[in-house]
Amino acid sequence: EVQLLESGGGLVQPGGSLRLSCAASGFTFSSYALSWVRQAPGKALEWISAISSSGDSTYYADSVKGRFTISRDNSKNTLYLQMNSLRAEDTAVYYCAKDRPKLWCFDYWGQGTLVTVSS
Partner 1 sequence: DIVMTQSPDSLAVSLGERATINCKSSQSVLYSSNNKNYLAWYQQKPGQPPKSLIYWASTRESGVPDRFSGSGSGTDFTLTISSLQAEDVAVYYCQQYYSTPSFGPGTKVDIK
- Residues 74-103 as x/- pattern, contact with partner 1 by CB under 8 A: ---------------------x----x--x
Residue 5 binds partner 1 (CB under 8 A): no
Task: Rank residues 16 and 89 by Cβ distance to partner 1 and give the closer one.
Answer: 89
Dist CA 81 CA 22 (whole Å): 9
27 binds partner 1 (CB under 8 A): no
106 scored as a contact of partner 1 (CB under 8 A): yes
Integer Cα distance of 47 and 37 in angstroms: 4
- Of 29 and 95, which has the nearer Cβ to partner 1? 95
Angle, CA of 65, 90 and 48, to the nearest 5°:
45
Q: What is the DSSP pairing of strand 92-99 with strand 34-39?
A: antiparallel
